[in-house]
Amino acid sequence: MFAYYLDLALRSFRRNRVLTALMVLALGLGIGASITTLTVLKLLSGDPLPQKSARIFAPQIDPLPADSQTPAAKLWHSWGNLMTYTDAMNLLRARRAERQAVMALADSKITPQVPGRHPFFSDGVITTSDFFTMFDAKFEYGSGWSARDDEDRAHVVVVAGFLNDKLFGGKNSVGELIRVNDHDYRIVGVLKPWAPQPRFYAVSLGGRGYGNGDAVFLPLQAALADKVNPQTVNCFDANVDINHLETAPCAWVSLWVELKDAADAGAYQTFLSNYVAQQISLGRLHYPQVALPNLMEYLAQQQVVPEDARLQTGLAFGFLLICIVNTVGLLLAKCLRRSREIGVRRALGATRRAIFAQFMIESGMVGIAGGILGLVFAELGLWAVRHQPAQYAHLAHLDLSMFVATFAIALIASLIAGLLPAWRACVVAPAPQLKDA
């Protein structure tokens, strides 16, 4: 029977080509707009470390001076987990977490060793040794540096794969020297492609949120000894010597920690509160508020996903709803035009269930065609997004899940649109139709 209903549907489409085209076009436009905005929203709101984001936390304390009137919630929304170097290193050296890393961003001037090639700037991170294991950054060659290298201010560096390709043709460059900010560093590791989206660790540090990842990773202590300037420095005093940021009243580094479970998170938050209370008694800190959001809570706190992205997605699905309503009207008009045909089929013994199934199969075929057209519109929409001046623009591509979602939405939308016309068709009384024939 299914093949028979398909044949009836195809005959109906051929008899009403304009009406069929309008229905497919309406669904295609709605589905294309919805999938385009949904793909962008998924990109912006994705989990950058899905395998362990629930165990990655961003400790937050209030480092502002005593005369500050800024509420902690507002401070954390704007500064995230920025803190002073002193507080970050105190918490790091307490070793109360399974893994922990202090970090800042720094523009890095790379000077190629090949004569005739000009220096260029790349994104860099100055951090501590646990950064790579905590954030699951995998290595193509070598490994990260050790905690001892941190303390010894060793001039070692980890480079991204794309920088290794550019400077060394992709070969194993471990042991080679690279000149960063006019100082020589020895390469100890080359990363495999690693670019979390969004670039969560850079949110409070002033860096871009999306992209191809950072090029170089330097030990924090060695970078400070070489006078590397961080990108973001928020100071509480107008008279600050930024050449001595280690002791300056400025928040410019962030701390991330990895904890095993909820019990460890509770214990760490208690430790954080006790640390702040101790520093208040010493006169260094002045406010007792602390927070310990996990990675996804932190991204929500920082409003990484723009509100206009959510709004655009809502508007697109509203447009899809309008398209479905229009398709309902077109299917209903098509049904009413076929009342005599339906009456004859009923008189020949077709049940209401058979008529209902026939029209739902027709609706499903319209949905599949609309999904194919919607896929074309979605690709065009994402092509337009990729040509926008946004950090995430080049990442807007239709993945497998969105491909499947396209046809799922198309089929569901068409079946919803077909419910009323199918019900109307199956309740057509055969006698009046035969009488008028």
CA angle 424, 374, 396 (to 5 degrees): 145
Q: Give me the count of residues in the chain.
A: 437
Res 344: pLDDT = 63
DSSP lists the bridge partners of residue 218 as 126
**Does residue 144 contact residue 191 with C-beta atoms inside 8 Å?**
no
Which pLDDT score is estimated for 88? 96
Query: What is the token pair recorded at 210?
Result: 């999306």
Phi/psi zone of residue 400: left (φ > 0), alpha (ψ -120 to 50 degrees), beta? Answer: alpha
- Residues 342-361: b if buried by 16+ CB within 10 A, e if exposed: bbebbeeeeeeeebbbbbbb
| Residue 343 pLDDT | 65
219: β partners: 127
Q: What is the DSSP string of 173-234?
A: -TT-EEEETTEEEEEEEEEPS---SS-GGGTTTT--SSSS--SEEEEHHHHHHTTPPPS--E
What is the predicted pLDDT for the residue at 415?
A: 82
pLDDT of residue 1: 62
262-281 helix and 85-94 helix, angle to the nearest 10 degrees: 130
**Block means of pLDDT (10 residues each) for the chain, length 437 residues?**
64 74 87 89 86 95 90 88 95 95 93 83 94 96 95 95 93 94 94 91 82 91 91 82 82 95 94 96 93 93 80 87 84 70 65 76 83 90 84 78 83 81 68 53
